[in-house]
Structure 1
Amino acid sequence: MAFGEHTSKEIIGSRSKELQGKKIILCITGSVAAIKSTEVARELMRRGADVYAVMTKAAQQIVHPDMVEWATGNPVVTELTGQIEHVTYAGEHRNRADLILVAPSTANTIGKVAAGIDDTPVTTTLTTGIGAGIPVIIAPAMHASMYKHPIVLQNIEKLRDIGISVLMPRMEEGKAKIPDTEEIVQAVVDRLTVERDLAGKRILITAGPTRSYLDAFRYITNPSSGKMGVAIAEIALARGADVTIVYGPASAKPPRGAKVIPIETTEEMLDAVVDELKAGKYYAAILSAAAADYGAADRKMEKTPSGKKE
């Protein structure tokens, strides 16, 4: 560490060198999830990145800029001045940032970016960076009802259509929570180290087994773990695709960032696949599920008594 350099930078590269030499702009907006921003910054640094933060006024009411400066070891941009910080960080020149990460992002910021409005340090930096071709990753965080608003969902699709990666939030306790720190950091690593030849393309995957019910409780199935479909989904996500998984009751855990449609029966899987293909244009469909090949001609809606001959 050079004389006079911030001691927080001692952790850079302490975990891996995956992001060594990469400059990342961390944009922080006014979601309560802003309390996670320093954790995200530190983990990016441990992977080798140098992190520069830009904050909205609303974010500063939740996390003090001094805390963010301590976490990153760099001055925090809280307003745009004659230094034209947005151009210095994200303009069209050789020493610009390698990636812009918005974590957390409010619905308000998503809407502004989708509409090309740049009236905060964060949105102005994003407008500059998008125009300069810098990769952008957005991690939404808001109440679930806000996330489900049709216009918010349309805005997210607008951003994806121009190549921006929008991570799937964790839908818990009535909220669309910011993704786990590890997921956010891995998305950054993937974006900067893996070829993004599927960016902007939608891929539909089926995975896991299905069940063919005999009565209200008993069913025929198979021991498929769903691992193949999950592995395909992980690779597709890393290569930039927007992934939807129609997923049977398997043991493997679907990857974060994919849209998961849970199903049980072959009929439900078929209906889900048909609905998805009708609703939107997919680049590819990969049918890796172990769907049941046969079942009972007539499912009984009550439990068949044990020992009863049918």
Structure 2
Amino acid sequence: MESVDSILGTRGDHLSGKRIVHCITGSVAAMHAPGLARELIRYGASVKVVMTPSALRFVGADLMHWASGNPVVTELTGASEHISLAGLVPPDRRSSAIVVAPVTANTVSKIASGIDDTSVTTVVSVAIGSGIPIFLAPGMHEPMYRHPILREHLERLKALGVTILSPLMIEGKAKMAGVEAILRSVVRGVQSGEWMEKRVLVTSGPTFEPLDSVRMLTNPSSGKMGSSLAREADLRGADVTLVSGPGSHCEVVGIRTIKVRTTRDMYQAVEAELSRVRYDFLFAAAAPADFTPDVPKNGKYDSRSAVSIALRPLPKIIDMVKEISPATFLVAFKAEHGLSEPELRSRASERLSECDGDLIVANDVADSGKGFGADVNEVWVLDRKGQAVHLPAAKKEALSRRILDIALERSRSLSAIQR
């Protein structure tokens, strides 16, 4: 279907080859269902939609047909849709997950009690018996969500292995989790592969060094590259921690984040994390300030007078990584300005050697359309042997996927040599 073909896999292949059954019940949050279906498709999924009669009062079947690219199941017929969608069918036709978003209090209690009187409850009942992963995203008024019997039913479903996506408590309502949170849970829930067992630390964004009580020394980093790396590793199933400076794009849904302000804050946070647990990978994508005033002024400099400020260099965060955690695979980042490609690669290789890193990602920020603050970047990825991979200009989300792929491949090779 044209509406689906144009967006299939445009944001990633995490759900490529997966069939997701999107069930919708009668909550006002059903207005978000088309967006969720489209987002699942953007990550590669084939989406089949099942709706209750009450859901049809909020969202039309024709709209969901357009959104998913597939006919919508609104009632069960002699075709036994509940079996074809959630039964023990051959692997090539088996659904990968059932997502009920939104799910009402009524439907939660029916599922928990084994009542199969709608197309949605019957599909979920069969899925529980078939061992298919199930995700429920409640949406209702807050008092209904706090009802002791509903809470009991939710706990009963959790005990059966059903994933409950906690709603957002806003204005007296238990609002359905956002599309991003639902997508993250589903993608992680159906993932398999090497990243599932990896612990990843990412630094992101700029840092601020105070010049006086109101001014600061910083750079244009937005944190987009670091947050893209953290999000991609998280979607692949890794256990991710993000150490984030005050950039405008340094927040990632669902990821443990340590907020910092100064370079010393970031240094200490990374040092503490590496000392606390063993990280398999560290992606040092942050752009911390390299200098700080000897003595920041208490108060505000008079803007009508010339000012001379003595700066001193700050310690480099990546230089201490291998000292604390030699086994951590270190991916350093280096930004330069106005260099030729050979010069850029040469300086990157030199810096990689200095920090004893495993890979370095280098880019030239002279082009305002790439690098700092931009959605697009063009980089070189170099290893210790001097091998270089050029990643042409692309969105940072796409670059993050390639960088993770290269890092995993190189870490495998390194592990094989060490064995």
TM range (shorter): 0.5 to 0.7
Question: 2:364 aligns to what?
Answer: none
Normalization by structure 2: what TM-score? 0.47
Residue 160 (structure 2) pairs with residue 179 (structure 1): no
The one-letter amino acid of 1:101's match is V
Whole-angstrom distance in 2 between the partners of 1:31 and 1:146? 13
3-state SS, counterpart of residue 100 of structure 1? strand
Residue 241 (structure 2) pairs with residue 249 (structure 1): no
Question: 1:100 aligns to what?
Answer: 98
The answer to whether the 8 A contact 1:230-1:254 is kept is yes
Whole-angstrom distance in 2 between the partners of 1:267 and 1:112? 51
Q: 1:139 to 1:243 in 2, by over 3 A?
A: farther
The one-letter amino acid of 1:98's match is S
The answer to whether the 8 A contact 1:12-1:48 is kept is no
Residue 302 (structure 2) pairs with residue 305 (structure 1): yes
Question: 1:6 aligns to what?
Answer: none
The answer to whether the 8 A contact 2:30-2:59 is kept is yes
Whole-angstrom distance in 2 between the partners of 1:52 and 1:300? 62
Uncovered stretches (5+) of structure 2, i.e. residues with no partner:
310-419
Root mean square deviation, CA, Å: 5.6
The one-letter amino acid of 2:179's match is P
3-state SS, counterpart of residue 33 of structure 2? helix
The partner residue of 1:35 within 27, 31, 36 is 31
The one-letter amino acid of 1:24's match is I
Q: 1:70 to 1:52 in 2, by over 3 A?
A: same
Question: 2:59 aligns to what?
Answer: 63
Question: 1:13 aligns to what?
Answer: 5
Question: 1:5 aligns to what?
Answer: none
Aligned 1:179-218 pairs, distance under 5 A? 179=179, 195-199=192-196, 203-218=200-215
Deviation at 1:187, TM superposition (A): 8.4
3-state SS, counterpart of residue 24 of structure 1? strand
3-state SS, counterpart of residue 214 of structure 2? coil
Q: 1:48 to 1:211 in 2, by over 3 A?
A: closer
Higher RCO (CA-CA < 8 Å; seq separation 6+): 1
Deviation at 1:132, TM superposition (A): 3.7
Q: 1:264 to 1:250 in 2, by over 3 A?
A: same
Q: 1:228 to 1:69 in 2, by over 3 A?
A: closer
Question: Percent of counterpart pairs with the same letter?
Answer: 39
Deviation at 1:191, TM superposition (A): 7.6
Question: 1:240 aligns to what?
Answer: 237
Normalization by structure 1: what TM-score? 0.59
Residues 210-258 of structure 1, C-alpha deviation per residue, up to 9 Å, x if partnerless?
2222321122335555355234213312312354433213365655564
Whole-angstrom distance in 2 between the partners of 1:116 and 1:281? 39
Whole-angstrom distance in 1 between the partners of 2:106 and 2:196? 22
Question: 1:3 aligns to what?
Answer: none
3-state SS, counterpart of residue 206 of structure 2? coil
Whole-angstrom distance in 2 between the partners of 1:55 and 1:177? 19
Deviation at 1:137, TM superposition (A): 5.8
The answer to whether the 8 A contact 1:109-1:123 is kept is no
Whole-angstrom distance in 2 between the partners of 1:33 and 1:304? 52
Uncovered stretches (5+) of structure 1, i.e. residues with no partner:
1-8
Whole-angstrom distance in 1 between the partners of 2:267 and 2:53? 48
Whole-angstrom distance in 2 between the partners of 1:297 and 1:245? 29
How many residues were matched structurally?
284
3-state SS, counterpart of residue 304 of structure 1? coil
Whole-angstrom distance in 1 between the partners of 2:247 and 2:269? 17
